[in-house]
Amino acid sequence: MTFDALGLAPELIRATQGLGHTRPTPIQQRAVPGALTGADLLATAPTGSGKTLAYALPVLQRLLEQPPTTRLPSALVLVPTRELAAQVGEVLRALAEPLHAGLRVAVLFGGVSINPQLMRLRGGADVVVATPGRLLDVVAHNALRLDRVGTLVLDEADRLLDLGFAEELDRVLAGLPARRQNLFFSATFPPEVQTLAARLLRQPLRIEVAASGDDAPAIAQRAIAVDTARRTQLLRHLIDAEGWRRVLVFVATQHAANTVAAKLHRGDRYATPFHGGLSQGARQAVLQEFKDGRWDVVVTTDLAARGIDILAMPVVVNFDLARSATDHVHRIGRTARAGASGTAVSFVTASTLAHWQLIEKRQGLSLPLDVLPGFEPTETPPPPAVGHGGVKGKRPSKKDKLRAAAAQSESAEQGCDSEPR
């Protein structure tokens, strides 16, 4: 199938081809025609499958067919992170520029001064890409009205619909027209999120593109058993032995990102941290330098698990395991994008073995647990919990358990300063 078969305007097809896209991906083949009918969509597709273009094309097509009479936004794209906002904005601007329709795309996110964003909105905008918090700040400054939005897009909808964004999303929705088109896209939609999404959508067209067959990302997964205190040493060994020159390493906390990156850098590996504790300018600089080949290793939190699109990312390492099977999918999806192949390596310690087995079960995986010569683990798994989880009201919460696990990981990392460099 070609883009001509999707019902798009010739000038939009030319703009798409100008970005190097010659044939629509499966999610684009199914989502674009459905969105052009005006229907609500609930679309699931693997990371790197072309979801951004799947909603950007119908959004721009609608603006071409019904040119806006005001500079109030006709389309609103909500995303969970600053990096994804910038990336989506780049795609929309690159598509809109050759159309010669004078369409304006505004990108709003926090972590930087709000004043330049307010200034750029003085000329209005046809499409707004924003994180919820900064969008609400801009609306509070009376710099933007949302009462003319005809299309709402939630990119990484599962994250936007979870409890972390619930209050902000409710406030945004309250400012939108009741009659609008809703396009929800994500790589994963847990059942509880699907239930919530169903309440916000009107007879949605459900689209699910499975990661199977020729369309599945070519990710070779590997699990390696290792003692907690030797993970940095193992990472150094793999970087050298495998000849890795671009690696994205996931850890549990900002402190761990700083610590692991510093130890790698002291060992003559070009490594740097990337996390929410950095300024927006520093984060943008790290990403650009990583894309340009300035850094061999970027050590990051789950901040980079979504919305980071770096072509030719050959290796992802789970230094700390993801908190859930869903987060694991998003992490490893940073490799093998745009038809490329990649490798995802997970370090499994004695204390995280049970969690790894749960991730395997929920992802339908069955990987051998490799043991590398010289890195044979000596730790033993902790004893199983006694009883039925403790007294109600006194059991540690999920957050308490995550904090304890992170503290244990950081303590072990701090104790391995004596390992070879």
343-353 pLDDT, tens digit per residue, is 999 999 999 99
Task: Name residues whose C-beta falls within 8 Å of residue 170's C-beta, 6 or more positions apart in sequence.
Answer: none
Share of the chain above pLDDT 90, in %: 57
Answer yes or no: is pLDDT of 310 > 80.
no
Rounded to 5°, angle at Cα 155 from 152 and 161: 85
Q: Residue 398 — very low, low, confident or very high, per pLDDT cuts 50/70/90?
A: low
Share of the chain above pLDDT 70, in %: 88
Tell me what the mean pLDDT of segment 75-90 comes to: 92
Q: What pLDDT was estimated at residue 313?
A: 83
Extract the tokens encoding 51: 């979801």
How far is residue 327 from each of residues 14, 105, 293, 362, 394, measured CA to CA in Å? 36, 30, 26, 12, 27
Q: Which stretch of 127-131, 135-139, 184-188 has the lowest confidence by average pLDDT?
A: 184-188
Tell me what the mean pLDDT of segment 186-198 comes to: 82
One fold for both 3-208 and 217-383+391-414? yes
Q: What pLDDT was estimated at residue 395?
A: 52
Extract the tokens encoding 63: 């603006």
Q: What pLDDT was estimated at residue 404?
A: 58
Q: What pLDDT was estimated at residue 385?
A: 62
- What are the residues facing 170 on neighbouring strands? none
Answer yes or no: is pLDDT of 254 > 90.
yes
Answer yes or no: is pLDDT of 173 > 80.
yes
Tell me what the mean pLDDT of segment 247-254 comes to: 95
Q: Which stretch of 127-136, 277-286, 352-361 has the lowest confidence by average pLDDT?
A: 277-286
Q: Residue 263 — very low, low, confident or very high, per pLDDT cuts 50/70/90?
A: very high
Is this model's pTM higher than 0.75 or not? Answer: no
Q: What pLDDT was estimated at residue 421?
A: 39
Q: What pLDDT was estimated at residue 303?
A: 84
CATH architecture, range 217-383+391-414? 3-Layer(aba) Sandwich (3.40)
15 neighbors 98 (Cβ within 8 angstroms): yes
Tell me what the mean pLDDT of segment 174-197 comes to: 88
Dihedral of CA atoms 187, 164, 129, 186 in degrees, nearest 10, equals: 10
Tell me what the mean pLDDT of segment 22-48 comes to: 91
- Listed as own residue / partner, the contacts of 276-280 with beta carbons closer than 8 Å and 24 or more positions apart are 276/301, 276/303, 279/111, 280/82, 280/109, 280/110, 280/111, 280/112
pLDDT tens per residue across span 333-342: 888 766 678 8
CATH architecture, range 3-208? 3-Layer(aba) Sandwich (3.40)
Handedness of CA 367, 372, 378, 379 (dihedral sign): negative
Dihedral of CA atoms 114, 116, 119, 123 in degrees, nearest 10, equals: -110
- What are the residues facing 247 on neighbouring strands? 297, 315
Q: Residue 394 — very low, low, confident or very high, per pLDDT cuts 50/70/90?
A: very low
Residue boundaries of the structural domains of the chain = 3-208, 217-383+391-414
Q: What pLDDT was estimated at residue 292?
A: 86
Instruction: State CA 270 to chain mean position distance.
Output: 24
Q: Residue 390 — very low, low, confident or very high, per pLDDT cuts 50/70/90?
A: very low
- Listed as own residue / partner, the contacts of 93-98 with beta carbons closer than 8 Å and 24 or more positions apart are 94/15, 94/19, 95/12, 95/15, 95/16, 95/19, 95/56, 95/57, 95/60, 96/15, 96/60, 96/127, 97/15, 98/11, 98/14, 98/15, 98/18
